[in-house]
Amino acid sequence: MGKKISVLSILCGILIVVGYRLWIDTPSTYASNKAVSMNAAYYEPSASKGYINEPTGSLNKMMPFYMNDGGAPGRNCTTYIKVENILDNNKQADVVQENEQQQPPEQLAVHKRIALTFDDGPHKNVTDQILMTLQKYEVKATFFVLGQNVVKYPDVVKKADAFGHEIANHTWSHKNLTKLNAQQMRAEIERANEAICDATGKTPTMYRPPFGAIDEKVRESIDDIKPVLWNIDTLDWQHKTPKKTLANLKSQAKDNGIILMHDIHQQSADALEEVILYLKEEGYEFVTTSQLL
């Protein structure tokens, strides 16, 4: 009997010591701004009865809690944090608002967008160089092509389309549409559409009138495809100087801008890399014309 009592006494003593060590070694938890640190004592009955003060509504079912400010007595807190989330240091504390009002979603970051467009191509060499530069910087552009040039270089148009660029109509032979009758206008657009469709398998949804010449008669005669002009003119066709192309671009660059360049002049292809680098540094996102409109 005495041995049994001794053994039981020893076991009881071990249990008491182990229980005490577990109690003093259990870290307390403090939640502030959803970040968890171990520096404040927590006693569940006091927290749930004394600090929370019997919250109403759905919060009644959400126990136990830590107070958002650590549960200090006398504080009039309105937010509570679920214990199961706090005790897991790998989780961000889940804050529950007493009024249960959802916070408005964060606004998406606003990006400046801009579209590169190239007229009058395709050109066997110049357009190919432009495509390589665009590919290097992962930029998509819109090519307003002439039907008569598409027939000459269909492989260049196919390549542009395969790279994910947008192919649009710039008429068959670059005639001023405002000087043509309705039938002639339609012929310029339809012949170019056919050439583009033969090369890419796609029918364009946009056209750019040569010289930007458009009036109500043109709009009425060509009403099944969208006219697109520009609002940033590099004048690359006029001066044929890469530095001037870049300077003109810098002076006009703006959000929702449509840049006019041409892929039939070597100097335009030579200017493109600097144009792209400048716009990227200024925080512009490159999009195709249809994405912008």
CA gap 156, 166 in Å, rounded: 13
As a whole number, the mean pLDDT across the chain is 78
CA gap 260, 245 in Å, rounded: 10
Pick the catalytic residue: 262, 263, 265, 270?
262
- Residue 89 CB coordination number (10 Å): 10
Tens digits of residue pLDDT in 136-168 = 999 999 999 999 999 999 999 999 999 999 999
Pick the catalytic residue: 119, 120, 263, 270?
119
CA gap 221, 198 in Å, rounded: 24
Task: Give the residue-averaged pLDDT of 86-91.
Answer: 42
Q: Which residues have a Cβ under 8 Å from the Cβ of 236 and sit 6 or more positions away?
A: 244, 245, 261, 262, 265, 267, 268, 271
Please say if the pLDDT value at position 107 is more than 90: no
pLDDT of residue 6: 59
Contact 253, 216 (CB under 8 A): no
Of 109, 126, 125, 119, residue with least CA distance to 142: 119
Q: Environment class of residue 171 by beta-carbon count within 10 Å: exposed (0-12), middle (13-18) or buried (19+)?
A: buried
Question: C-alpha distances in angstroms, 24 versus 17, 67, 71, 83, 102?
Answer: 11, 22, 20, 19, 39
Tokens coding 18: 């182990």
pLDDT of residue 138: 98
- 155: annotated active-site residue: no
Contact 106, 136 (CB under 8 A): no
pLDDT of residue 92: 44
Of 99, 156, 108, 112, residue with least CA distance to 132: 156
Give me the count of residues in the chain: 293
Of 78, 54, 107, 112, residue with least CA distance to 257: 112
- 263: annotated active-site residue: no
Contact 267, 242 (CB under 8 A): yes
Tens digits of residue pLDDT in 26-80 = 444 333 333 333 333 434 444 444 434 444 444 433 333 333 334 444 444 444 4
Contact 103, 250 (CB under 8 A): no
Tell whether pTM > 0.75. no
